[in-house]
Amino acid sequence: MITRPTGDADAGFWWQGAAGAGVRVAFTSSAAGNLALHVGDAAAQDDDGPARREVLARRRALERRLGVAAGRLRFLEQIHSAEVRDVDGPETADAAAPVGDAWVSPDGSDPLAIMVADCLPVLLVGARGDGGAVTGAAHAGRPGLLAGVLERTVERMRDHGAEQLRAWIGPGACGRCYEVPEAMHAELTAGRPALSSRTRAGTPGLDLRAEAQAVLAGRDVSTAELSGCTIEDRTLFSHRREPGRGRFVGVVWRPEGEDPRSGGGARGGDAGAPR
Ligand SMILES: [Zn+2]
């Protein structure tokens, strides 16, 4: 397990690393600010209010740090489903965000963001036969995880020729913090032993990370796991700790100018040995 090996607080990253084929993976910290339009002040504004413009400015700032052009980083309208989409080229200026909870860039060229605050952000990279990469990003909270969002993302990536899939499970609510009612615990963990946990207080809990790990391992996806807990770590946003304050993002991207066949990329080491 990796515990914040290359935290880069100054740049607003909680963690980032290289994933091969010029692809990088990262999770922002609360220092990067709220990146979602549907929570916080921005949620009250549909059009062009100052809070909304602030969120968009933070997204532009993140794009600069990622080394991608303005407007290239793609966001979904996430609905806690198992809906997986292919990216269909660069976003047009006024287009609404596509609806879904995971997406895939078949050639790794589109930078993908997934917004979270307690749900798990899962970033995936697969090798292609031509030396390139297939990338994916999934929002794996309780409903999506149980509905099969990870299975479907993996399947979609393999449909696009992804081999040797690796996944980075980012920070979310941990099994020691994520308390649920006894009846819900009994219902959800039947047949899913990895999902069951006890909280610090000894009450029934859910361990989304262990369940995600089990799902991915069962599909021959190796995982480089990061151990952060959003409820405990105040450098991350948490819906349970502070509802509506903000969302951070998991991002998988290839900085512009990176050669897909260069291996690790120019800026930094490998993102940790997958288990
Ligand atoms: Zn915790």
Q: Give 220: exposed, middle or buried? Use CB within 10 Å, 0-12, 13-18, 19+.
A: exposed
Over residues 250-264, mean pLDDT: 77
Q: How far is the CA of 112 from the centre of ligand 1 (A)?
A: 26
Q: Report the topology of domain 9-253.
A: CNF1/YfiH-like putative cysteine hydrolases (3.60.140)
Concatenated DSSP letters for the chain? Answer: -B-STT-BGGGTEEEEEEEETTEEEEEE-GGG----SSSGGGGG-SSS-HHHHHHHHHHHHHHHHHT--TT-SB--B--SS--EEE--SSPPTTPPPPB-SEEEETTS-S-EEEEESSSEEEEEEEE-TTS-EEEEEEEE-HHHHHHTHHHHHHHHHHHTT-EEEEEEE--B--TTT-B--HHHHHHHHTT-GGGEEE-TTS-EEE-HHHHHHHHHHTTT-EEEEB--BTTT-TTS--TTTSTTS--EEEEEE--TT--TTSSS-SSS-B-----
Residue 9 has pLDDT above 90, yes or no: no
Over residues 207-228, mean pLDDT: 94
Q: Which residue in 16, 11, 55, 15 sits closest to 35, CA to CA?
A: 55
Q: How far is the CA of 230 from the centre of ligand 1 (A)?
A: 7
Residue 256: per-residue pLDDT: 86
Q: How far is the CA of 38 from the centre of ligand 1 (A)?
A: 25
Q: How far is the CA of 20 from the centre of ligand 1 (A)?
A: 30
Residue 257: per-residue pLDDT: 80
Q: How far is the CA of 238 from the centre of ligand 1 (A)?
A: 10
To which residue do tokens 């309780």 refer?
142
Q: How far is the CA of 15 from the centre of ligand 1 (A)?
A: 18
Over residues 163-180, mean pLDDT: 97
What are the tens digits of pLDDT across the range 89-106? 656 555 678 899 999 999
What are the tens digits of pLDDT across the range 32-74? 999 998 887 666 666 678 888 899 999 999 999 999 999 999 9
Residue 4 has pLDDT above 60, yes or no: no
Q: How far is the CA of 175 from the centre of ligand 1 (A)?
A: 6
Residue 96: per-residue pLDDT: 77
Using pLDDT thresholds of 50, 70 and 90, give the confidence band for residue 210.
very high
What are the tens digits of pLDDT across the range 119-164? 999 999 999 999 999 999 999 999 999 999 999 999 999 999 999 9
DSSP lists the bridge partners of residue 140 as 120
Domain residue extents for the chain? 9-253
Q: How far is the CA of 184 from the centre of ligand 1 (A)?
A: 19
To which residue do tokens 């994916």 refer?
136
Q: How far is the CA of 236 from the centre of ligand 1 (A)?
A: 12
Q: How far is the CA of 73 from the centre of ligand 1 (A)?
A: 29
